[in-house]
Amino acid sequence: MRQLLILAALLALALPAARAAVAPDAPRRLGGFGDWIAATHVEAGQMVCYAFTRARSSTPRLRGRGDVVLTVTERTGGRDAVAISAGYAYPAHATVQLHVGRAVLEFYTAPRSAFARDGHAAVAAMLHGHAAVAQGSGPRHTQVNDDFSLHGFAAAYGAIARACPAPS
């Protein structure tokens, strides 16, 4: 019995140390909001807040394609960064358009991601839209369409804006 008490005491002492051993920079979920998830993490000592959703459909289906994710990120030094992770490498000099309602938003590409040229306009359109469709060049110059739900975006965006308020 005494050994069990000692073991229990040692475990009780070890648990806070084990929790501290978890990376403090690890993502922390703020919540799920409809089809969106909001979270935070620390990057280079600064809090980063982001909301994301995965594409609900993509055409054509591309073999070996990774996750397709639409993300909005808030940082102290940059607000409303909107990005699409394509799940494949874009051809050189490719562009992407994000259609939200009547708004057509231009994105530029890096190897596997596309970034909104005007993140504030993209967020404004997304706050009032129901769906977003990204159209861009895929492998072998195919046209790729990725459909994202905006259900829950406004609430997820509110959560990240509260967690990472704009500097005053």
Q: What is the predicted pLDDT for the residue at 141?
A: 78
Give the separation between CA 152 and CA 127, rounded to whole angstroms: 9
pLDDT tier at 36, thresholds 50, 70, 90: very high
What percent of the chain has a predicted confidence (pLDDT) above 90? 70
What letters, b where the CB count within 10 A reaches 16 and e where it falls short, cover 72-111?
A: bbbbeeebbbbbbbbbbebeeebebebbbeebebebebee
Mean pLDDT of all residues belonging to the chain: 87
pLDDT for position 30: 97
Name the percent of the chain lying above pLDDT 70: 85
Residue ranges of the domains in the chain?
A: 24-163
pTM of the model: 0.84
pLDDT value of position 24 = 62
Fold topology of 24-163: Immunoglobulin-like (2.60.40)
Mean pLDDT of all residues in 13-40: 73
